[in-house]
Structure 1
Amino acid sequence: MQLFGSDVLAVAERLTDAYVEVFTAPPWDHRDPAATRKAFRGRLEADAHRPGFRAALSLSPEGEVDGFVTGWITQAPFPADRAYGKVTQRLGSVSVDELLVGAFEIDELGVRERARGTGLGRRLLSALTATAPGGRAWLLTWDQAHGTLAFYRRLGWHEPKPLAGQGTDVVVFLSAPASAPPGRTT
């Protein structure tokens, strides 16, 4: 496993290849690979310069990216672009400020099919969240990614209570408390 800051851009093409393979397969198979490639590459080039950006990659013996995770420290004010508006809608601005601002935000986590079932996703996530400020980390995922939802729940990540009547197609997870064993939610 290799850890990166903005120097991740040196392996951007290989990382983008892995991203497209992961995020155009079920349940994301409705996405166009060319559009997904272009969008991710543009985001990566910008995100790599965010305060606190980090990435962890697992490379195959051939140098291909088998798995990846990226993230950064969520800054104030809480953003409104991308899916952030849905997060604020789901949790409310008070909870967003209390729970997410200042925490480490997992932006992308993916493991290629050939490397799944090996614990790689768990190891990548742990590598990036190990130094989260105050042990606080968060992420969001699509509510139709059932395997992904189950994965985070097995690791002990938990969902903060949404505002009444404020459902969205994203699910927010908070990292497991350091004392909680994997597989147990709080």
Structure 2
Amino acid sequence: MNAPPVPVVRVLRGQEVLAHTDALRSVYVDAFCAPPWNEDEEKAAEFAERLPRDARRPGFTAALAFVGRDVPGFASGWTTLPPFPTDRCYPQAAVSLGARRTDDWLCGAFEVDELAVRPGAQGSGLAGHLLEAVTEDAPEGRSWLLTSVQAPGAMAFYHRQGWTQATLPSPDGKGIVVFLGPRHPARGVAPLPL
């Protein structure tokens, strides 16, 4: 019996990623249109529409896995510039951390925006390889991400990868939490989650 082919992970910078927009959109649909994310095709279209803008952000990096021409997964992100953003889920992160920690820990650090792996490749270690590849050149090892507390599997995955949960969920048990990467210098001073 033949073993499944091992994906090759390539790191792309800036606009290089745009040649793979259709593949990334397809992975996004496969990864996020099912529970616990339950996103729809409209969210996948929004992702594809914002990709050219995101690719122009300072420090934009994407790690894509290839098996031949197929892309079973990807991770992407950029450097979070000051002032800290006020759109999307950022205000919740800033309130949870406080202004000083937000500026010190997140501004100037590499923010992982997306990590998506097709269901058939989940559990293979691919997500961990993509996460490591996309954050390898994080400034001074400083990387971070947001994830939903409604996705306990994702939270457990980041803990297994050595990421540190730096915020607690909102009192209603919903919303997002901030994770600091394994080489982030603030890991040791982040409050331990309950």
| Both proteins in one fold, TM over 0.5 | yes
Q: What residue in structure 2 maps to residue 4 of structure 1?
A: 12
Aligned pairs for 1:62-141 (under 5 A) are 63-141=69-147
The one-letter code of the counterpart of 1:135 is G
- 1:133 CA displacement: 0.6
* 8 Å Cα contact 2:27/2:73 also seen in 1: yes
- 1:47 CA displacement: 0.4
Structure 2: 5+ residue runs without aligned partners? 1-8, 186-191
1:132-173 deviation line (CA, Å, top 9, x unaligned):
111110000111111000000011111124599697600110
* 8 Å Cα contact 1:60/1:66 also seen in 2: yes
Say whether 1:32 aligns with 2:40. Answer: yes
- 1:3 CA displacement: 1.4
Q: What residue in structure 1 maps to residue 55 of structure 2?
A: 48
Q: Which stretch has the larger CA shift, 157-166 or 114-123?
A: 157-166
What is the TM-score with the length of structure 2 in the denominator?
0.85
- 1:20 CA displacement: 1.2
Q: Could you say what secondary structure the match of 1:141 adopts?
A: strand
1:49-68 deviation line (CA, Å, top 9, x unaligned):
0000000100222x121010
Structure 1: 5+ residue runs without aligned partners? 180-185
Q: Which stretch has the larger CA shift, 41-50 or 160-169?
A: 160-169
1:71-123 deviation line (CA, Å, top 9, x unaligned):
11110111101111111122111110011001110000011111111111111
Q: 4+ runs of 1 displaced by more than 4 Å?
A: 161-168
What number of residue pairs does the alignment pair up? 177
* 8 Å Cα contact 2:33/2:40 also seen in 1: yes
Q: 1:104 to 1:58 in 2, by over 3 A?
A: same
Q: CA RMSD in A?
A: 2.1
Q: 1:115 to 1:162 in 2, by over 3 A?
A: closer
The one-letter code of the counterpart of 1:59 is F
Q: How high is the sequence identity, in percent, across the aligned residues?
A: 45
